[in-house]
Chain A
Amino acid sequence: EPEVTQTPSHQVTQMGQEVILRCVPISNHLYFYWYRQILGQKVEFLVSFYNNEISEKSEIFDDQFSVERPDGSNFTLKIRSTKLEDSAMYFCASSRGEQYFGPGTRLTVT
Chain B
Amino acid sequence: AQKITQTQPGMFVQEKEAVTLDCTYDTSDQSYGLFWYKQPSSGEMIFLIYQGSYDEQNATEGRYSLNFQKARKSANLVISASQLGDSAMYFCAMRGSLIQGAQKLVFGQGTRLTINP
Q: How far is the CB of B71 from the nearest CB of chain A, in Å? A: 25
A100 nearest in chain B by CB position:
B47
Interface band, chain B: 20 to 34
Pick the contact of B43 from A49, A95, A103 — CB < 8 Å?
A: A103
Number of contacting residues on A, CB 8 A? Answer: 28
- How distant is the Cα of A82 from the Cα of B102 in the complex, in angstroms? 27
Task: Find out whether the CB atom of B106 lies under 8 angstroms from the CB atom of A55.
Answer: no
Judge whether A44 and B107 touch: CB under 8 Å: yes
User: A15-36 vs B: 1/0 string, CB under 8 Å?
Assistant: 0000000000000000111010
Query: How far, in whole Å, are A85 and B45 apart by their CA atoms in the complex?
Result: 22
Question: B44 an interface residue at 8 Å Cβ cutoff?
Answer: yes
**Per-position binary interface string of chain A over residues 83-110, scored 1 when its CB falls under 8 Å from any chain B CB and 0 otherwise:** 0000001010101011111111010000
With known contacts A42-B91, A42-B110, A48–B104 Cβ distance under 8 A: yes
The reply to whether the CB of B50 lies closer than 8 angstroms to some CB of chain A is: yes
Say yes or no for B101: interface residue by CB 8 A criterion: yes
Bound CA span A101–B104, Å: 13
Give B residues with C-beta under 8 Å from A: 35, 37, 43-47, 50, 91, 93, 95, 101-110
**Which residues on A are within 8 Å of B, measured CB to CB?**
31-33, 35, 41-45, 48-50, 55-56, 58, 89, 91, 93, 95, 97-104, 106
Which 8 residue pairs across A and B have the least CB separation, nearest first?
A101-B45, A48-B102, A55-B102, A45-B104, A31-B102, A50-B102, A43-B107, A103-B44
